[in-house]
Structure 1
């Protein structure tokens, strides 16, 4: 009997996989070239306010060390 239960479970699992693949195949996809172009445009539009590009002013940096290390 356990062979039938195992077989039944694998059939149910296979049906779920097939259903999921059908859903994914039916989804409308956006071309990668369009998305890449939009991403480049977004980066260029926001370049002036990006701290990774422009840097952070030392006075506005919350991670700046408050004290300097001095060896005695």
Structure 2
């Protein structure tokens, strides 16, 4: 066999091994995962800064100085 053919066979074997590994993995139904995610979001919505915002006093990125235009 030539080096090119041997390389092609090795690449194909690696691909087949990867596909076998992925096929043997136990999968979770998407509907169950989505339901868990929705429930998590509902349970934590009061502490989510994207939903309730950040208090100006505790915001570390707030500008310390104001900009004055002349």
- Matched residue count: 70
Give the TM-score, by structure 2 length. 0.93
Give, in angstroms, the shift of residue 59 of structure 1.
0.5
Match of 1:18 in 2: 16
Give, in angstroms, the shift of residue 71 of structure 1.
1.9
Unaligned runs of 5+ residues in structure 1 are none
- CA RMSD between the two structures: 1.1
- Superimposed CA distance per residue, residues 37-72 of structure 1 (whole angstroms, 9 cap, x where no aligned partner): 000000110111111011100000111111111123
Structural mapping, 1:1-72, within 5 Å: 4-72=2-70
Give the TM-score, by structure 1 length. 0.91
The CA distance in 1 between the partners of 2:32 and 2:66, in whole Å, is 49
